[in-house]
Amino acid sequence: MSINNSKTEVKGLFIGAGCNRIVNNVSWGASDLVSFGAQNAVVIFCPTSAQILTTLPGHKAVVNCTHWLPSNKFAFKAKQLERHYLLSGDADGVIILWELSLADNKWRHALQLPKSHKRGVTCITGFMVSQTDAIFATSSSDGTVCVWDVVFPTSSGCECKLSCLETLVVGSRPMVTLSLAQLPGNTGLIALAMGGLDNKIYLYCGERTGKFVRACELKGHTDWIRSLDFSLPIFSGEADSVLLVSSSQDKGIRIWKLTLRGSLANTEGTYKRGEIGLASYIEGPVFVAGSFSYQISLESLLIGHEDWVYSVQWQPPSLVAEEEIGFYQPQSILSASMDKTMMIWQPERKTGIWMNVVTVGELSHCALGFYGGHWSPDARSILAHGYGGSFHMWKNIGVSLDNWQPQKVPSGHFAAVTDIAWARCGEYLLSVSHDQTTRIFAPWHNRDPQSDGDSWNEIARPQVHGHDINCAAIIQGKGNHRFVSGAEEKVARVFEAPLSFLKTLHYATSEQSSFPEDVQADVQVLGANMSALGLSQKPIYVNATHEIQENLRNDGLDTLESVPDAVPVALTEPPIEDQLAWHTLWPESHKLYGHGNELFSLCCDHEGKLVASSCKAQSATVAEIWLWQVGSWKAVGRLQSHSLTVTQMEFSHDDNLLLAVSRDRQFSIFKINRAGNDEIDYKLVARQEAHKRIIWACSWNPFGHEFATGSRDKTVKIWGVEKTSSVKPLLTLPQFDSGVTALSWVGLDRQRNDGLLAVGMESGLLQIWSLHVERSDDSIPTPGVATAQIIRLDPFMCHVSAVNRLAWKNPENNENSTNLLLASCGADHCVRLYEVIVH
C-alpha cells in the first residue's frame, strides 16, 4: 500500500506484531491468509512469504477473535470467489465484517454488526451455505449466543445484508467455543454445538429461518470445554452422519458421531439396535430435530496431551476431489495444547483406533504452551500460536513419509512497543516493549535471484527481561554495537553485541562495513545465557563452548525451574521463535544505578560519549536527568529543571545542547560543554512552559538549532534557539484531531534548511509535514517564516492505538536525500517501517 502526494510518496515496507494471548484469536482462511488480533488491530499475514500484509483499523478494544468466511475448511467451495470476508470481535462486544477483494487485494470495512453482546466476544464460527450466503454464530462472556445470516453482494460496491436469526441466553456460565454444521441427510437443519465453563457440550438445532432449540447435552468431559469442531458430512453411500470433536481442560479429546436415524414417520417403533458391540454401550442420547431423529454416540476418546487442550480442528477436505462427490472429509484431527505440543490424530487402517501419528513442538522451550492450532487449506502446513504472542509453523515436506519441518513466520511484540532506535549505520532497528523483550529487526539479503528482494525479519532478541521495558538508546560512535535499556526498575542496563550476532548481521546484510575485522578480534563473547529470574544475562565466552555441550548432554531435563543453556551460533537464515527466544541474547556489561524510580526515557549523543536518562517522577529532586559517560559508565551530571517526569530527551546534532520535555508542560535546554579530562560542564540555558497539556515528544532539526515539541493539547510547535540561548516560537502547526505523542525531524537539504517532520498521534494516525526554515544572514532563525505542507497516511497504513515513538533512519547522504526510511512503534504491539520517497 502506498500514499502519493505531488512531491512525496509513502510506502509500507514492514510490520512486526505479535498475537494477543487469547484462545480463538487466529483464523486461517480459504484465501490462504491468516488473521489475528494484535491489541485493537486485526492483522493479516501471508504464510508463504512470512510477512504481515496489513492491519485493519476499526476496533476500540482488544480483538478477541477472528474468523474467515470461507474458512480453511471450505476452501474447496471458494475457488470461484472474487471476495472473501473476515469477522472480528473485540472485548467490548463489537463485531466487524471486513471484505477482501482478491482482484486488487483491497480491504474495506463492510459493516459493523448491531451490538447484541454487552461484554467481550469469546468465539465466532460460521460456514458458507452458498457462494453468496453464510451462517455464523457468536458467543460472549455476557452469557448470550447469537446466530446470524449474511448475504454477500454479487457485485462489488454493494452492501451485505445481515439478519439475526436467534439470540440464545445460555445462563451465568458463558460459552467459549462454538461450532456450526448442517445436520446430515439434506434436511436443511443446522446444528450448533457450544461449550464453556462447565463440563457439558450443549447441542442446539434450528432451521435456516431461525428458532434454535436445545436438543441435548453431551456429558463425558470432566473439566471446562475449550474447543469444538464439526466435520463435514461423512459419506457412506449417502451423507448420513457428521462427527463432532471436542477438547477440554481435562487433557482429553472426544469424538462424537451424529447419525441420522430417519424420519419420525418411518422409524417410530421400528428402530432396531444393530449387533451388540462396544458401540452399543456408549451410545448417547437420541434427539429430534424437525421431523427427523438423530442418534449420538461416543466414537473415540483420545488421550495423549499432558495439559489443557485448547483447540481441535478437522483436517480440511482435499481440493483435488472427484467431481461427483465434490469433496471428502479426511479422518484427521489437529490438536494444540498447553503442554507445548501439537498432535495430528488419525485412525489406524486395520483396527480403526485413533492414534497420535505426528507430534510437533515437544522440543521447544519457548512460551508456556499453545493457545490454538490451525490447518492450512491444503493441509500441508500447521500453525500454532503461543503464550508469548508467537507463531510456530510446520510444513510437511515429505513425499511418501511425513516430514514436518519448522517454517519462518512473522514475529513481533505482544504488548505495547515503547521505544525504537536505529543502529548507528542503519543496519537494523531495535525495539523495546512492555512484553519485557528487546528485539532487532533487519533486512535479510535474499541470495535467490528469483526472489522479490530483501525482506525484513526479526534477527535477534538481545534482552528477555523480567520487567516491562520502557526505553532504549543505541550507543553511537565507533566500536562494537551497544545499547542501554531502561525498564520498570531503577537500574539502566548496558548490553554489548556478541560475536554470534556480528556474524549473523554480516551474513544478513552482506555489508562489509558492519563487520570490521578489528571488532571481530576484540569480541571474546559468543552469546549470553538467561538467568533463572530473567533479570541479568551472563556472557558465554568464545573458548567456553565445549562446556555448553557437556551441560546439554549431562542434564537433558527441562523443568519450569531450570533454564536451558543457550547455544549461540551465526545464523544463515532468518531465525524461528525457538532460536530467537534463547540463542540470540546479548550479554549485559554494566548496570547504571542512581535513579530513585523506574526508568522512563534514554538518549545518547551523536558522538557516542554521553547517555542521558530520566525516570518517573512527581518531585523536582526525583525528576533529575542523569548524564553517564560512555565507557567508564560513571555518572558525570545531574541536571535539575523539571518537577514531573521527563518524557523525552534529545541532543542537538552538534551535541552542544540537550533538549528535554516533561509532564510539567515545560521544555528545558541545557548547554553541554566537554572540558578536558573527560569532565562535563552543563548549564540550564532555557526553560519555558510551552503547551497547555503534557508534552510527550520533541525533535531537533538536523541542520540547526530549531526544534519541535508535541503535546496532548493536540498541537505541534516549532521553536528556534538564538545565539543568546533565548528561545523564540517560530510556528504552530494547525491543530491536530488527537493528542500528539511522537515526533521525528529529518533533514533533506542543508543549504535550503529543508526537512520532513513526522507526527504520530494518540489515535494511531501518522502525518508527515514538509518544513522549510528560512534564516537571516547571521544564521539566527527569523520568527514566522517556517512553512509546512501535509501528507496524511491512510489509516490502513497507520497504527490503531497511540504512536509511542517515531525514528527516521539517518540518510546515507546527509546533505540531499530522496529515499528515506521512517520507523514507528505503538501501543498496538506493532513496529512499522515506511519508505518515504521525495521527488
Q: How far apart are CA 478 and CA 134, in angstroms?
A: 61
pLDDT tens-digit map of 486-537: 999 999 999 999 988 998 998 888 754 445 555 566 677 777 777 666 667 7
Architecture of domain 417-549+566-838: 7 Propeller (2.130)
> What is the C-alpha separation between 220 and 704, in angstroms, rounded?
74
Contact present, 356 and 252 (Cβ < 8 Å): no
The b/e string for 67-89 (b: 16+ C-beta within 10 A; e otherwise) is bbbbbbbbbbbbeebebbbbbbb
DSSP β-bridge partners for residue 216: 203
Angle at 657 between CA 654 and CA 659, to 5 degrees: 125
Indicate the SS3 state at residue 304: coil
Q: Would the pLDDT of 209 be above 70? A: yes
- DSSP code, position 509: H
Closest by CA to 281, choosing from 298, 267, 262, 300, is 298
User: Higher-confidence residue: 582 or 58?
Assistant: 58
DSSP for 211-236, please give it.
EEEEEEEEE--SS-EEEEEEPPPEEE
Provide the residue ranges of all domains of the chain, joining segments of one domain with +.
Answer: 310-397, 417-549+566-838
Residue 394: alpha-carbon gap to chain centroid: 19
pLDDT, average across residues 112-134: 90
Q: Let me know: does 419 contact 435? Beta carbons within 8 Å.
A: no
Q: What pTM, to 2 d.p., does this model score? A: 0.91
- Quote the mean pLDDT of the chain: 85
**How many Cβ atoms sit within 10 Å of the Cβ of residue 521?**
8
Residue 280 has pLDDT above 60, yes or no: no
The string of pLDDT tens digits covering residues 627-671 is 999 989 999 999 999 999 999 999 999 989 999 999 999 999 999
Strand order in the sheet with 309-314: 309-314, 333-337, 342-347, 354-360
Please tell me whether residue 115 adopts helix, strand or coil conformation: coil
User: Residue with C-alpha cell 519508505?
Assistant: 835
What tens digit of pLDDT does each residue of 125-152 get? 998 888 888 999 999 999 999 999 999 8
Strand partners of residue 196: 175
795 burial class (0-12, 13-18, 19+ CB within 10 angstroms)?
middle
Give the mean model confidence (pLDDT) for residues 269-280.
40
3-state class (DSSP) for residue 146? strand
DSSP state of 76: G
What phi and psi, each to the nearest 5 degrees, are found at residue 206?
A: -160, 175
Give the confidence band of 56 by pLDDT, cuts at 50, 70, 90: very high
Q: For residue 725, count CB atoms less than 10 angstroms from its CB and return exposed for 0-12, middle for 13-18, buried for 19 or more.
A: middle
Of 329, 305, 322, 454, the residue nearest 379 (C-alpha): 329
Q: How is the chain split among helix, strand and coil, in percent rounded to 5? A: 5, 50, 45
- pLDDT at res. 269: 39
Is the model's pLDDT at 362 over the cut of 80?
A: no
Go through the chain and tell me how many residues it has. Answer: 839
Residue 785 confidence (pLDDT) above 60: no
- Spell 636-663 as b/e; 16+ CB within 10 A means b: bbebebbbbbbbbbbbbbebebbbbbbb
Single-letter amino acid, residue 436: Q
CB atoms within 10 A of CB 780: 15
